[in-house]
């Protein structure tokens, strides 16, 4: 059975292979959208933790008013823990692989997936930087292999970067986009491979300069975060960098870039292409975040971030931008 074969009323089963931080979040994505979800991880303890986390996360959504108790229970009921890869892949339409990021490990996993999955089952990967052309090299089923890179955590942030490999079938690309949309995600199709895709390249560029600003003594980690959080981040959450230029000049983005092109070129020449990222800078950043949020605040801060992202998304649904579909 292929991804495209799921009916409009009853989505086919999917498999989540790899139950770490990303994999467990994919469990939530699929189960709340109605997909029977089989979960496999070679580490039985990690598998158990992931399934327990998915249930607890669904119940937390009830507490937050994001779903009903019966919806949360129904989502939990769609999870099946599997002790073997073959069991997890039996009868599914789609696989979301979320194993370790090393390309050699991905290739090994994909050899197992290609051997165990029935013909026509699409094999999607959560890889955040690797080219599917390389991962699927030499596989008999390379045509059914595709990148579906989410943002962490995917059950909160809907963007998925979809990228075909050199041998990926166009039908697989189209059906993967349909399945992800049905799962409540917002997939975007990339035109070609670049290391890190789009999201991580943008993130890396910004982080590079943020680290440079701290390392060269321009600003503290706290100040850099405030500038992003209370300035750029507020705009970019709504319209993005090109959209920001579009609304920052009466004539739109073309007028904006022509007015400020020289200023940007001047700044670009001064940007640090290889900032100091040594232990001293990392320690300084860590001290800054501890001073801001406290010693043991990561779990609470993560939960708060997730709640706020969902509120922002709901506001954008209630008040969409002009021209939105």
5-62 pLDDT, tens digit each: 444 567 899 999 999 999 999 999 999 999 999 999 999 999 999 999 999 999 999 9
Domain of residue 210, residue span: 199-318
Q: What CATH number is associated with residue 236?
A: 1.10.1040.10
- pTM listed for this prediction: 0.92
Tell whether 83 and 114 lie within a shared domain: yes
Q: Spell out the residues 6+ positions from residue 225 whose beta carbon is closer than 8 angstroms to its own.
A: 288, 289, 292
Neighbours of 52 (CB within 10 A): 11
Q: What CATH number is associated with residue 27?
A: 3.40.50.720
* Mean pLDDT (the chain, rounded): 94
pLDDT at 222: 97
Domain closes at, from 189, 214, 244: 189
Tell whether 11 and 110 lie within a shared domain: yes
pLDDT at 2: 47
pLDDT at 323: 80
Q: What is the pLDDT of residues 291-309, one digit of tens each?
A: 999 988 898 999 999 999 9
CA dihedral of residues 120, 123, 124, 128 (deg, nearest 10): -150
Tell whether 159 and 214 lie within a shared domain: no
Report which of 176, 177, 173, 155 is spatially closest to residue 164, judged by C-alpha positions: 173
Query: Would you say the C-alpha torsion 236, 242, 245, 247 has a positive or negative sign?
Result: negative
CA distance 190 to 149: 11
Tell whether 204 and 183 lie within a shared domain: no
In a domain, 247, yes or no: yes
111 in Cβ contact with 103 (< 8 Å): no
Q: What is the pLDDT of residues 201-248, one digit of tens each?
A: 999 999 999 999 999 999 999 999 999 999 999 999 999 999 999 999
Report which of 150, 319, 292 is spatially closest to residue 228, judged by C-alpha positions: 292
pLDDT at 5: 46
Report which of 34, 128, 64 is spatially closest to residue 309, judged by C-alpha positions: 64
126 in Cβ contact with 26 (< 8 Å): yes
Domain closes at, from 189, 214, 249: 189
Instruction: Give me the number of domains the chain comprises.
Output: 2
pLDDT at 4 over 60: no
Tell whether 167 and 229 lie within a shared domain: no
147 in Cβ contact with 137 (< 8 Å): no
pLDDT at 295: 87
| Mean local confidence (pLDDT), 69-91 | 97
CA distance 244 to 234: 11
% of the chain at pLDDT higher than 90 = 93
Tell whether 61 and 133 lie within a shared domain: yes
Tell whether 79 and 21 lie within a shared domain: yes
In a domain, 324, yes or no: no
In a domain, 325, yes or no: no
Domain closes at, from 189, 214, 247: 189
pLDDT at 8: 53
């Amino acid at each position: 059975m292929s991804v495209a074969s799921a009916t409009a009323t009853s989505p086919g089963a999917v498999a989540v292979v790899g139950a770490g931080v990303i994999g467990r979040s994919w469990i939530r994505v699929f189960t709340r959208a109605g997909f029977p979800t089989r979960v496999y991880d070679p580490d039985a303890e990690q598998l158990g933790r992931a399934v327990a986390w998915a249930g607890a996360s669904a119940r937390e959504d009830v507490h937050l008013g994001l779903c009903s108790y019966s919806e949360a229970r129904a989502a939990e009921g769609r999870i099946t823990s599997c002790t073997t890869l073959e069991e997890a892949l039996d009868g599914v339409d789609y696989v979301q692989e979320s194993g370790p990021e090393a390309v050699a490990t991905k290739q090994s996993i994909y050899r197992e997936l290609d051997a165990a999955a029935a013909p026509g089952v699409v094999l999607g990967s959560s890889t955040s930087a690797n080219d599917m052309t390389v991962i699927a090299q030499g596989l008999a089923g390379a045509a059914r292999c595709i990148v579906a890179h989410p943002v962490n955590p995917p059950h909160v942030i809907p963007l998925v970067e979809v990228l075909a490999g050199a041998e990926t079938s166009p039908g697989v690309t189209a059906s993967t986009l349909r399945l992800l949309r049905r799962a409540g995600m917002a997939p975007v199709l990339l035109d070609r491979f670049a290391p890190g895709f789009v999201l991580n390249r943008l993130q890396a560029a910004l982080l590079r300069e943020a680290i440079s600003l701290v390392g060269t003594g321009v600003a503290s980690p706290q100040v850099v975060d405030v500038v992003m959080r209370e300035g750029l981040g507020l705009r970019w959450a709504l319209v993005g960098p090109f959209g920001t230029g579009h609304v920052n000049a009466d004539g739109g983005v073309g007028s904006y870039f022509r007015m400020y092109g020289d200023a940007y070129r001047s700044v670009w020449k001064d940007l640090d292409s290889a900032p100091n990222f040594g232990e001293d800078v990392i320690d300084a950043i860590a001290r800054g975040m501890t001073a801001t949020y406290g010693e043991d605040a990561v779990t609470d801060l993560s939960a708060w971030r997730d709640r706020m992202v969902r509120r922002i998304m709901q506001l954008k649904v209630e008040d969409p931008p002009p021209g939105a579909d």
